[in-house]
Chain A
């Protein structure tokens, strides 16, 4: 028992020593950083942007050879939580307005710009495709996978089902076997044949040619607007601007369009 005070003292001493070491190393680190070193641009982006941003990244790297471009893809809601809890990033591209607006209200990001649009698609596993050809056939499937209502793709699906009427909605909901956390997870379940039908983004459907697609009439299909913004605490605001400019540029927009995203000027019928 009488050892305890000195034990505590030695602990505190050690902690002090550690802190000193940390501070010391921090200082030397800052001193050794030279401006000629590669700069790292960190882009947080919705999971549905993975392929298209990777393609765009290749073009961007050619134009900015000294920049190390690092993408972090996850659900928009998850990225938002990470930024709220102190993750450092330069740019955030979200799959819905809600999460971006929340970040803007709290002062995490500068004014966002909508840079592209997406819509929903119903993908059907090949074996079930002959029986499920229109939206009205979908409730006859036995295993349907959607997103949870808290992630953008699930929220848009909910909007679609509500538009389709109560009977259709309950018919679908009775067949839901799993609520996944991202459109990619939904797509994977259908691709593996575990689920027969999945509600995903149009761009996901295009990326899976082995699946059949049930068309959704444009007047029922919700518009998924994708906003992009620079973070207020971005360590590289100039580079961040360069990335946002590239995404909005003609070159960037044509890459988005070829991946199936709906171009901005083409106003969606249900859009404003």
Chain B
């Protein structure tokens, strides 16, 4: 009986956190009622922002996966100490606040930034859709690199050795052995990275600004609506949550499939 009771205590303690995490999300839906969602869909800021969010996050995800996968592979192959040092450095964008990321982006690619004139003929990359993508890549790539490199490390290294002894080229090893084996980890990393990009707010606001149809992504549209009408902000928030949840679900299903038949 006492042992059972202890188990319940553990459950209850854990449950309290779960309740805390779910309650605000629930409030978002409960407090708005169905007409709130409809009003949200009709809000003039929604469609341009939704389109822009989908376009920019797909672009940033593409960049992150295309460049991040080889990077993660090199990190996983490198010597333990150097690899881990570089990996730790690459995690920095994760732990610095988004506002700091925004300032860093301005100092690097802004008009008076180190690379300003080089990156953009007009002298600044700020205030462009490209700036939105750059901010998203900066904050979201580390999540992908992290899970991709650990997926590559978890692989059975004997398989690589066997492939090498059979004379497989590095390309062949990467594409035919490593990639298929690490796919679930890569997909998980892509999902995490994508959701971080979708939610990106601070660095985008500072580096890319806020202009409808050009740099105003969903989180910025929510903040804009919040200035006048919390109800509208709430309705757009629900749309963002639904979009994020649907895509997360899709990735989970895909990962389940990949795990079953590797």
Contact = CB atoms under 8 A, between A and B. Distances in A.
A134 interface: no
A150 B211 contact: no
B245 interface: no
Interface stretch (A5-13, A162-170, A211-219, A234-242): A5-13
Interface stretch (B7-15, B49-57, B77-85): B7-15
B122 interface: yes
A194 B124 contact: yes
Contacts, number: 74
A178 B215 CA distance: 8
B155 interface: no
Given A178-B211, A180-B209, A193-B112, A75 B12 contact: no
Contacts of B209: 145, 177-180, 189
B214 to A, nearest CB: 8
Contact of B110 (A3, A142, A192): A192
B227 A75 contact: yes
Contacts of A145: 209
22 contacts: A7-B11, A7-B12, A10-B9, A11-B15, A77-B227, A78-B227, A142-B122, A143-B127, A150-B227, A177-B211, A178-B210, A179-B209, A179-B210, A179-B224, A180-B209, A180-B210, A181-B210, A181-B224, A192-B110, A192-B112, A193-B124, A194-B124
B26 to A, nearest CB: 17
Contacts of B223: 181
A148 B45 CA distance: 13
B226 interface: yes
Q: How many residues of B sit at the interface, in one of the four size bands?
A: 20 to 34
Interface of B: 5, 8-9, 11-12, 15-16, 106, 110-112, 122, 124, 126-127, 205, 208-212, 215, 223-224, 226-228, 230
Contacts of B11: 7, 10
Q: How many residues of A sit at the interface, in one of the four size bands?
A: 20 to 34
A148 B227 contact: yes
Contacts of A85: 230
A193 B9 CA distance: 58
A10 B230 CA distance: 37
Interface string A173-213: 00011111100010001001111000000000000000000
